[in-house]
Structure 1
């Protein structure tokens, strides 16, 4: 039975009448690991109503009973200092659109019990039935501060269970305690509750003194302490951090790229060929199915191995305890743009691929900084843009192509910094005063494979469900526009690009690019297609000139495609082809990276922020390209 009338959450995540429990705890207390252990693969990722704060909800099956579990953002108290903590506070107090939990499981860090007890005191004050789950007992034992759980239960007057969510030890005991509390339906605790800070601190000290023996006279130096002497060393910590970030970057490029290519090649190659031969009827039918629907599905699924590898890497860093250390190492540099050290991981991943970088922002517990990071990620230059850089730089700057490409990556980093400073002084003024990062460092652990795979599966599945439909649907629309003739003499699905609706769209866009020296439908067509994916810009240029794949090779900028592009920019720029080429490169760098990034940005942060970000990116790209061309035409 349910102690409260449960209100269904958005999307009926929590069905009416289903008991709901909230997992409440400090950051790095093991709360999310417990959530994974309870719910398995029965999880849903969503944003709390009206916010960009990410929540995980899941189903915990206890025999025939189904219990809804909500993993709340980590917090040190029920006095909110951020939107994330506000979401946790509202749900525990029953002031959220999610309803009110029937029971709160407060996760206590056994190695730092005093810090956790203050939160327990506040949760008890709400009148919500409460069970305390004590984790990190192995760490507490190693430090000589293992609490007496029976004494803790007597002093705190709540059921207490020992728990190791990484191994599953104690889950059955927790299930029994939860079932008993739900069956008793004790919506108001029997014990008197402290009501102000003085009472809470006194209660915390009394309970802690009853449960925890006196600490050893000589503090025990744990394994984590000894490792931290290296990883947090002012001189050695930075090279280690850079090496770890380099390894993550390599994972998104050298390791994941062949897998992405293999998946995409299967859909574009054998499967596409088979479907073309198997589908009956006119050519436009196979074109729609193969070049529209199948291409969309293939594009979505090609991201799966990349996302899986990146999320596994993040999970390893997070579960091992190193991610918190990395945040401290990078904190000072990122505070200048209103962020903290935890933003370094998604920004580094962004240079490998913007899509998993959006998902990687979840490692940041503060919603405002998570959003700011998500708005800056598209400014990081992913490898998909590199094919365009190589073609254009090799065509127009053959003796300095490497320098030009390097300069674009430097410009990308500069745009991240300038973009952060601009946002911090406008839409994110609340982040102008950024204090040094204060974070409790978790003990080092060996990550558990099952928990790691469950977390990865949940994140990848959320991308496929949330972004997949948008990507596939848009690609179908692009195919339809390129298949519909606007002049006579052509059949649907068999029409030159310039004679299609897509070509006419490019004609309409081209004049907007005139101040940047790019007033040509070939260029406009390629840039429009590049909004879907930067990988296809070179191919779109070749297609607009009716060249075959060999001529489109970015590895041969001096070939037919390079010659055509040189002539096009020379004409569109009034004889200033070099300046127009630089403007083209800057525009490719600065405008929206790909449709998949937009779809993931929408899933994580909402449609309003995603659409607004696209508008700003296009405006910034246009302004930069115009400035580069106008200055370049004077100097050349």
Structure 2
């Protein structure tokens, strides 16, 4: 998932991208240089961007995580004489675009007016697969560009018996070459010195391209590519030494197992099961402690302050105690769980395993008829559906982008995880991890089956594509990168809690305080308020699924804004109804009672039906906005209809069958 922070922003192809403070009091102005970072996915480009700018961009092991252009400031403390703006361009193997993200990179480097192009391009190249990384260098050297090559993964190359003569390589390429290790923050001052020297010098002339004489006919693109490959091969041969040993790398030996057609999927499922088991068991004591903190000291302190201010008998008390503290506070108890989940996933990503998971799952997806590269945005969707919709741009065909954008809402985002864990802990306390794991398996199954159904009806002529993905070497996760990624994702979760959830709580409080038939504002039973009356109207729709209680139905409606709001809605509603009996344990009791009553004494199948409905029904408002931007309003509404039909049908079937057992 790509996360923009305060130091990053989306940039359009103009000469003056948005600038920001570098953290040391210096900012890049319009006269400061603009440096573009380019390179193939998984060669350390975004890691180098984070190291140079401190932007803390999330580093993923699949293309599509940086579809939009990020900008940050390379400060003077890292060796530059003046701050520079750094653009992190989408990962691209070539400037001959095969997808919208590669097209964007070409547009910014070659198609933009000369005044709008970067002053210098830093190309990240994998030392272990050097020839593969130099194609884009060959293309850039055909234009009047200052180019610096940042050679990454030299340690991996050395373990494979490969070494490079850096001066010889620089001479052969006609541009500076610097060895860097952005994971360990090594080489950045050498890179800064090379950039300074290149910026001070005149723009070099394009390299001479020797093409066969075609008697004034247009140049054959195949001849041009043949010339580039010959140039690359010559440079690599001159500068590369191999010890001659035909050794199998450590990564290759592991990949023989983890990407095996049979063992690979099993290892992937076991890995995910372990992640959910650790998350649900380790985080629970911390959740309980935070729940007691909000329902005890925080609520008591707020009551004391309101009494001191003379507001104890006013609607303000309901907003603060029963709304903000009960709703937002209950949601914040899930911070330890989300932090632990994000940390475990960050460790898997940093180690290189998640790219293998993409390969394993891609194989299964293609056998079922889905586009090969479609799995990449779907993986992002398990973090958040919004960037996953944007990541569909990596697909070359418009129909593929449309299909995957309709499937992304069926991926279970991290916002749903909070509700899964809460209900699984209440109704299946000894098997909570297994229940959560089952929801993610069901999510994958829904994506596959819905995709097959749409392919069989609307996209019957669309062919699938193989997944082309460079697998990064396995590496020991670094605490700095893993913690930075964890904090970025956790901050996004907290931003939701502090923004959308607070606004939702206020709206719910206002509706719960508004009488419909009698009473005064702030002094009305919840079921007689505007909120309660509307919920009673909707509730019968869910009766066949076993959760037709008005409190449950209203939580699903609020969840349309953000899935985390389901929890805050419950906490807020039950706190208003019973202000003397609040807290995590009391909320659990209220929820148990609601499902028991609505299901006619069959709460477990009703809860499972509710969880499935939560997984499959309409995603949050932000996801719908992203869909509308990418595929249009008509297809977005079509997707909403499909999701509601699938969610309601599955929920009813699960409850109606489950209540007989």
TM-score w.r.t. the length of structure 1 is: 0.77
Match for 2:282 among 226, 233, 255?
255
Match for 2:188 among 171, 178, 183?
171
Contact 1:328/1:341 (<8 A) preserved: no
Does residue 417 of structure 1 match 2:448? yes
Distance of 1:236 and 1:486 partners within structure 2: 60
The superposition leaves residues 139-163 of structure 1 with CA deviations (integer Å, 9 ceiling, x where unpaired) of: 2222232121111111111111111
SS at match of 1:309: helix
Give the equivalent residue in structure 1 for 2:9.
Answer: none
Give the equivalent residue in structure 2 for 1:565.
Answer: 598
SS at match of 1:489: coil
SS at match of 1:125: coil
Distance of 2:644 and 2:511 partners within structure 1: 22
Match for 1:376 among 407, 410, 415?
410
Contact 2:525/2:577 (<8 A) preserved: no
Match for 2:297 among 253, 265, 270?
270
Match for 2:480 among 436, 450, 453?
450
Give the equivalent residue in structure 1 for 2:507.
Answer: 477
SS at match of 2:124: strand
Match for 1:8 among 8, 17, 20?
17
Give the equivalent residue in structure 2 for 1:398.
Answer: none
Quote how far apart the aligned CAs of 1:108 are.
0.9
Give the equivalent residue in structure 2 for 1:152.
Answer: 169
Match for 1:92 among 109, 116, 121?
109
Q: How many residues align?
A: 599
Range 383-392 or range 258-267, more displaced: 383-392
Does residue 36 of structure 1 match 2:36? no
Give the equivalent residue in structure 1 for 2:356.
Answer: 325
Range 297-306 or range 63-72, more displaced: 297-306
CA, structure 1 residues 358+435, in 2 after alignment: closer, same or farther (shift >3 Å)?
A: same
Does residue 191 of structure 1 match 2:207? yes
Distance of 2:546 and 2:129 partners within structure 1: 63
Give the equivalent residue in structure 2 for 1:206.
Answer: 234
Match for 1:68 among 56, 68, 85?
85
Contact 1:24/1:74 (<8 A) preserved: yes
Match for 1:598 among 620, 639, 642?
620
Match for 2:317 among 286, 311, 316?
286
Distance of 1:319 and 1:390 partners within structure 2: 30
CA, structure 1 residues 73+261, in 2 after alignment: closer, same or farther (shift >3 Å)?
A: farther
Range 536-545 or range 321-330, more displaced: 536-545
Give the equivalent residue in structure 2 for 1:334.
Answer: 365
Contact 1:358/1:600 (<8 A) preserved: yes
SS at match of 2:37: strand
Match for 2:533 among 504, 511, 516?
504
Structure 1: which 5+ runs fail to align? 46-50, 395-402, 570-576
CA, structure 1 residues 427+41, in 2 after alignment: closer, same or farther (shift >3 Å)?
A: farther
Quote how far apart the aligned CAs of 1:286 are.
2.5
Distance of 1:589 and 1:151 partners within structure 2: 60
Does residue 220 of structure 1 match 2:233? no
Contact 2:150/2:180 (<8 A) preserved: yes
Range 513-522 or range 471-480, more displaced: 513-522
The superposition leaves residues 338-366 of structure 1 with CA deviations (integer Å, 9 ceiling, x where unpaired) of: 2659949976x99xxx6668779999994
Quote how far apart the aligned CAs of 1:630 are.
9.9
Contact 1:338/1:420 (<8 A) preserved: yes
Contact 2:99/2:393 (<8 A) preserved: no
Distance of 1:221 and 1:500 partners within structure 2: 70
Give the equivalent residue in structure 2 for 1:489.
Answer: 519
Give the equivalent residue in structure 2 for 1:123.
Answer: 140
Give the equivalent residue in structure 2 for 1:572.
Answer: none
Contact 1:346/1:358 (<8 A) preserved: no
